[in-house]
Chains A and B, each alone.
Chain A
Amino acid sequence: MMTQSEGLPTETTSLQDAATGEEPPRRRSLGHAFLRPLPLAAGIVVVISLLAALFAPQLAALSGNDPFTYNVDALAPDTSPAGPLGGVSAEHWFGVEPGTGRDLFSLVVYGARVSLLIGIASTLLATAIGVVLGIVAGALGGVVEKLVDFATDVTLGFPFLIFAIALSALFPLEAPRALLLTLVIGMFGWPGIARVVAAETRVVVRQPYVTASRVMGARFGHVFRHQVLPNVASTVIVFASISLPGRIAAEASLSFLGVGMLPPTPSWGRSIGDAISWLIVDPAFLLFPAAALFLVTFSFNILGDTLRDALDPRGGRS
């Protein structure tokens, strides 16, 4: 798919570059692509969220709080936060959680850890599975390709959210939830990337230079590492970054439904789910976790789109 507005002047596919051996004018355009206002702002948000995740304890301590202490004195008699906007004050920058009085700023900052950790780790897992299966299927063809194809169909035949909810019934309470969620989200995320990589690999292995190196006795491992992988790399990077926000949203959705991260671990999704019972008394409780979740997914989406437009001028595919 190619739209009129973009593409034609920069239409250099990775294949043509490799075939002609020319270094594409990519570095410069890549840097330029991210210097426009929106991608720049998105990049700043992502960096801030990563820093917040890394230095959550220090940031919370800076505000003089932690996400686990119950501040009963910050609550009104009906256990809703005392004061306007969910109890925003000099002590509690984002107010406090209704019912418990836990500091909302600390909860949001710690929540970045869960979101980013699970989002990034599950994306790496899904990408690794997808790339290996895709290259194997695309390069070997035949029965292997049919098997991978069927496995893809089966994985897509699972209703992901339903099945993830159902699986949570099996998780023991003491099991490491973040790891289990990463595995579940990652294990169901590979079909898309496997299909794209398989399609590109099929094209690469038909190229004369691959045939030539095969004739010269190159093993599959050599072709895999030095000829196929470099050619599918940009597609893989684009696909991984485009799918990352969806994975962050998947963790948030499961936690929102009460089957993701368990209390007392702070999670944006769970805070938003908790907010349902406080919508009438304290709607402000919804705002900060929701804004954090939206800003981070939005920024990752913008960065992913920018990366795709810069690396893959042929435009979107999913």
Chain B
Amino acid sequence: MKPALLRVGRSLGVLLVVLTLTYAIFYLAPIDPALAMCGKPCSPEDLEAARGFMGFDKPWFVQLGSFLSAIVLGCTYGSGDVVLACAAPCLGYSFQLHQGVTTLIGQRFPVSFSVALGAVALQSLLGIASGAIAARRQGGLLDRIVTGVSVIAASAPAFVVGLLAVVVFALKLGWLPSGGYVPFLENPAQWAWHLVLPWATLAFLNGAIYARLVRSSMIEQLGLDYARTARAAGLTERTIDRYALRNLALPLVTLVALDIGALLGGTVITERIFGLAGLGALLLDATSTADLPVIVGTTFIGSLLIVLANLAADLSRPLLDRRLAAGGGRRARTADEPAPDTP
């Protein structure tokens, strides 16, 4: 399994470069987190002491090194009388919120995860089903609806659709709550009830993109030789549909993986619309108070999710298409790409 190892290594490399760039950018920024901690009036000695306590007096690459080692080993801030311990996996410590960044992210993650998970499930289901049916009945009513909605959904920003949904379904009709979050373990029914609008908003927008992709790929597949042969051999249309969908698994799994990877980015806007205290809200608050450890920690998590999702999609490819596995993990060529020169 050498290609798989290579991919893992490459993903780690990407993650490391992203993190280094992030760290360098925020270290070079004209913001001094120690100033916020030092209090007023802030004497130069106090400021130095605060910097030393937070570890900001060292060069940026030393800080990056200790940030990385803290993820695995944990770390402590300060020495002597006042010591702050940050247990592994430590993503830094917010001196403004007086909590470890890992703890803060851990508190907010269930909210963002709930939003994203339900939305991805709903949009996959609706998008694939309506796309496949539209491809089967080209020119029919559902086909025209799917095509029309997908053009509109591609242009409508999530916050416009979400806010309109709040105005119509929550404020005017009063059918659904306009926002808020109830933990799943507290009350599963209320949890789902409060998330219906965010899920529906995201599923409407992204599901239309799925439907469009499934529709055009299905039409392409149903026109290929194997579908014609199967039909000539007397197989039912249902069976041919199954064959065609099986061939769509590869692009669809990639799409779903990328959507899960973009989870964090996608929920920032949703959280703002529906007043959910998730990771996006944490980041926005940290931005307004210039809370650097939280900002860097959230960016790291966002990047981690993207890289992991890409890796998962890459690694699942040979499982979905055995030709890729047989070819030693080499990339499949698309039809209009020329074959490599053979000596």
Determine if B160 and A290 form an interchain contact, defined as CB atoms under 8 angstroms apart: yes
Q: Given A159-B303, A159-B305, A170 and B298 touching (CB < 8 A)?
A: no
Q: What's the Cα separation between A206 and B171 when bound, in Å?
A: 62
Q: What's the Cα separation between A157 and B138 when bound, in Å?
A: 38
Determine if A256 and B155 form an interchain contact, defined as CB atoms under 8 angstroms apart: no
B292 to chain A, nearest CB (A): 8
Q: Given A3-B216, A157-B307, A163-B22, A272 and B290 touching (CB < 8 A)?
A: no
Determine if B302 and A159 form an interchain contact, defined as CB atoms under 8 angstroms apart: yes
Determine if B265 and A302 form an interchain contact, defined as CB atoms under 8 angstroms apart: no
> Which A residues lie within 8 Å of B22 (CB)?
158, 163, 166
Closest residue of A by beta carbon distance from B271: A257
> Which B residues lie within 8 Å of A4 (CB)?
219-220, 223
Determine if B283 and A170 form an interchain contact, defined as CB atoms under 8 angstroms apart: no
* Residue among B265, B288, B336 making CB contact with A160, cutoff 8 Å: B265
B16-55 at interface with A (beta carbon < 8 Å): 17-18, 21-22, 25-26, 29-31
> Which A residues lie within 8 Å of B152 (CB)?
298
Q: Chain B: residues with CB nearer than 8 A to chain A? A: 10, 13-15, 17-18, 21-22, 25-26, 29-31, 138, 151-152, 154-160, 163-164, 166-167, 171, 178, 216-217, 219-220, 223, 262, 264-265, 268-269, 272-273, 283-284, 286-288, 290, 292, 295-296, 298-299, 302-303, 305-307, 310, 334, 336-338, 341
Q: Given A154-B17, A259-B287, A290-B163, A1 and B156 touching (CB < 8 A)?
A: no
Identify whether the interface residues of A are mostly helix, strand, loop, or mixed. Answer: helix
A261-318 at interface with B (beta carbon < 8 Å): 269, 272-273, 275-276, 279-280, 283, 286, 290, 293-294, 297-298, 300-302, 305, 314-316
A-B contact pairs, 13 of them (CB 8 A): A4-B220, A157-B14, A157-B303, A159-B303, A161-B268, A165-B283, A169-B31, A170-B26, A170-B29, A273-B159, A280-B171, A290-B160, A293-B160
> Which A residues lie within 8 Å of B269 (CB)?
161, 253, 256-257
Identify whether the interface residues of B are mostly helix, strand, loop, or mixed. Answer: helix
Closest residue of A by beta carbon distance from B261: A159
Closest residue of B by beta carbon distance from A245: B155
Closest residue of A by beta carbon distance from B212: A316
* Residue among A150, A162, A276, A279 making CB contact with B299, cutoff 8 Å: A162
The answer, yes or no, to whether A50 is at the interface (CB within 8 Å) is no
The answer, yes or no, to whether A252 is at the interface (CB within 8 Å) is yes
> Which A residues lie within 8 Å of B138 (CB)?
5
> Which B residues lie within 8 Å of A18 (CB)?
none
Q: What's the Cα separation between A241 and B171 when bound, in Å?
A: 37
Determine if A165 and B167 form an interchain contact, defined as CB atoms under 8 angstroms apart: no
Q: How many residues of A contact B (CB 8 A)?
A: 55
Closest residue of A by beta carbon distance from B294: A166
B217 to chain A, nearest CB (A): 8
Q: What's the Cα separation between A104 and B217 when bound, in Å?
A: 44
The answer, yes or no, to whether A168 is at the interface (CB within 8 Å) is yes
* Residue among A1, A272, A315 making CB contact with B159, cutoff 8 Å: A272
Number of A-B contacts (CB under 8 A): 159
* Residue among B25, B30, B298 making CB contact with A162, cutoff 8 Å: B298
Closest residue of A by beta carbon distance from B258: A156
Q: What's the Cα separation between A157 and B30 when bound, in Å?
A: 25
Q: What's the Cα separation between A286 and B224 when bound, in Å?
A: 48
The answer, yes or no, to whether A19 is at the interface (CB within 8 Å) is no
> Which B residues lie within 8 Å of A293 (CB)?
157, 160
Closest 5 CB pairs of A and B: A159-B302, A298-B155, A161-B265, A162-B302, A170-B29
* Residue among A150, A153, A206, A272 making CB contact with B160, cutoff 8 Å: A272
* Residue among A150, A161, A163, A279 making CB contact with B163, cutoff 8 Å: A279
The answer, yes or no, to whether A41 is at the interface (CB within 8 Å) is no
Q: What's the Cα separation between A85 and B306 when bound, in Å?
A: 43
Q: What's the Cα separation between A269 and B273 when bound, in Å?
A: 13
Q: Given A245-B155, A258-B284, A154 and B18 touching (CB < 8 A)?
A: yes
The answer, yes or no, to whether A48 is at the interface (CB within 8 Å) is no
Determine if A166 and B155 form an interchain contact, defined as CB atoms under 8 angstroms apart: no
Q: Given A252-B157, A301-B154, A166 and B295 touching (CB < 8 A)?
A: yes
The answer, yes or no, to whether A172 is at the interface (CB within 8 Å) is yes
Q: What's the Cα separation between A56 and B12 when bound, in Å?
A: 49
Q: What's the Cα separation between A154 and B151 when bound, in Å?
A: 30
Closest residue of B by beta carbon distance from A315: B216
B236 to chain A, nearest CB (A): 22
* Residue among A157, A272, A276, A315 making CB contact with B15, cutoff 8 Å: A157
Q: What's the Cα separation between A2 and B221 when bound, in Å?
A: 10
Closest residue of B by beta carbon distance from A295: B155
Residue interface mask A198-214, B partner, CB < 8 A = 1: 01000100100000000
